[in-house]
Chain A
Amino acid sequence: MQERSQGDGGEQRTDASGDQAEPEGDDAAVNPLIEELLGGKHRALARVITKIENRQPGYRDLVSQLHQHTGNATVIGVTGSPGSGKSTLVDKMAATYRDRGETVGVIAIDPSSPFTGGAVLGDRIRMGSNVGDMDVFFRSMSARGSLGGLSTATTDAVKALDAFGKDRIIIETVGAGQNEIDIVKTADTVMVLVPPGSGDDVQMLKAGILEIADVFVVNKADLEGANRTVQELREMLDYSDGGVPRTVGHHGPDAGFDGSGGEDHDDEEGWDPTIVETVADRGEGVEELLDVLEQHQAYLDNSGQRDAQRRARYAEEIRTLVREDVNELLVAEIDHQGGIDAFVQRVLDRETDPYAIADDVVGPIEDCVSERRE
């Protein structure tokens, strides 16, 4: 450890420059930073996530090398409106997982200013239950105003935590907008927090959150209106599948859970979203919540859903990367051909039209690809 502190800076520098000239180095050469990460060094994990966030040169190689070490963690997505208690609940969940002997990684995403790009990331304030416990790795990320890039960065950061050996990874984000929903959808199990007593929740449910939730958490269940919120949720779920969703109160589960995954109906009919009541700041209902999450995990395994989920996720990941890469290629090509402004001027002057330009730019690439295919 000590000798690293001297070697660290210099070594990384050489390795970063070596990264770009990678092809000659073969795939066998494992990046020293990755080696440290796999060896359990927190600083290396933190630095890898920074590189992922910054998209520093060579970060793709890092993520590539991580990939083969992933696939062991379960990923839980947590979303809900601001102030619904996500951070507090995540803190208690992490502490409870730790009590059960599991290690936890948390990625908390907060919005950033569209004007300055700056952000105040405040989720860490609630992490009071895991003070000084380095086995809870908490990382704040800001949206950095990037379209699509955020879900890529989150996916990659999850890989880093997974490869590091975290058993449970929690992604926490404000449920406001497609971007966030996309991120949360990358989780194995999606939890949606619904605070009691506001008509706004119905709006949130309308906006598509109903479909993504595997578990609804009515947090602050000690507040007035909690019962009504549970009732409303239940009615809404009744409409959606005709079944009766199960509810777990924070005073104890309705039925005895033994981790067998409630095979009475889950296996045949798919997963019915479960409603759980919690009082996060007092830690009430957290055990029950984790049991329900466990049941969902068991359901994923037993039903073959997990495999389907993974396939869908990787397919989406590949599509996103290919799309972004091609996009970049074309941006460079447009610059090469005189820049977008020159094209715009020609369109304005009615010399040509946008479709023709798109054909002109993409055409040669298409030719190239079809030539290679033959």
Chain B
Amino acid sequence: MSINQEQRTIRCLVAKVGLDGHDRGAHVISRAFRDAGFEVIYSGLHRAPEEIVQAAVQEDVDILGISILSGAHDTLVPEILDGLKEYDAFDDTLVLVGGIIPDDDEEKLKELGVAEVFGPGASMESMIEFVRENAPERD
């Protein structure tokens, strides 16, 4: 591998936010993304929205996957999106949400700028394909 050869790798932040201790899904997805050749940064449990923003900005991730099973997505996701905007990171970060999200809420989240919502039963293949196809183009 030579020093000037471009090595574009998709970087993802898998984030658990708020008071939600169920991280099996996040672990499984982290691993699937890793095996798909992505670089995965896992946030750990019980993160505050500002922590997620800090991580997404500093790590310059292409994909931010937020896993929420607590039902607090209406509050927490907008806070994260606002934080991304504050640091000019919103436009070129693909935001995904995974978890138990009612249909009405899904619409609302998408209006706010979430690219896709993956509920129970979403297949790994479809998620990885979605990420590959929609990873933001950067100069």
Contacts and interface: CB of A to CB of B under 8 A. Distances in A.
A119 B59 CA distance: 14
A339 interface: no
Interface stretch (B33-41, B71-79, B94-102, B113-121): B33-41
B91 A5 contact: yes
Interface stretch (A144-152, A180-188, A279-287, A289-297): A144-152
Interface in B19-53: 30-31, 33-44, 48, 50-51
Contact of A325 (B3, B87, B88, B91): B3
A120 B88 contact: no
B6 A124 contact: no
A147 B40 CA distance: 21
A15 B138 CA distance: 12
Interface residues of A, number: 56
A173 to B, nearest CB: 16
Interface string B55-75: 101111000000000000000
A117 B9 contact: yes
Interface in A1-53: 1, 4-5, 8-9, 12-13, 15-16, 41-43, 46-47, 49-50, 53
B54 A57 contact: no
Interface residues of B, number: 42
A116 interface: yes
Contact of B87 (A43, A112, A124, A142): A43
A60 interface: yes
Contact of B3 (A41, A138, A152): A152
Contact of B43 (A49, A125, A145, A321): A125
A131 interface: yes
A13 B3 CA distance: 23
B42 A122 contact: yes
B7 A140 contact: no
Contacts of A55: 3-7
Contact of B39 (A112, A147, A149, A325): A112
B42 A121 contact: yes
B92 interface: yes
A7 to B, nearest CB: 10
Contact of B41 (A54, A132, A140, A328): A140
Given A124-B44, A139-B59, A144 B7 contact: yes
A309 interface: no
Contacts of B39: 112, 118-119, 121, 140, 142
A118 B60 contact: no
Contacts of B85: 5
B2 interface: yes
Contact of A49 (B36, B60, B139): B60
Contacts of B38: 118
A54 B6 contact: yes
A331 B50 contact: no
A76 to B, nearest CB: 19
A118 B44 contact: no
A149 B1 contact: yes
B41 A124 contact: yes
A49 B61 CA distance: 11
B16 to A, nearest CB: 10
B42 A124 contact: yes
Contacts of B8: 54, 56
B17 interface: no
A116 B37 contact: yes
B109 interface: no
B7 A1 contact: no
Interface of B: 1-9, 11, 30-31, 33-44, 48, 50-51, 54-55, 57-60, 85, 87-92, 138-139
Given A9-B139, A140-B39, A321-B3, 5 more contacts: A43-B89, A121-B39, A124-B55, A138-B55, A148-B3
Interface pairs A-B: 7 shortest CB-CB: A125-B44, A324-B3, A118-B34, A46-B60, A146-B1, A132-B50, A16-B139
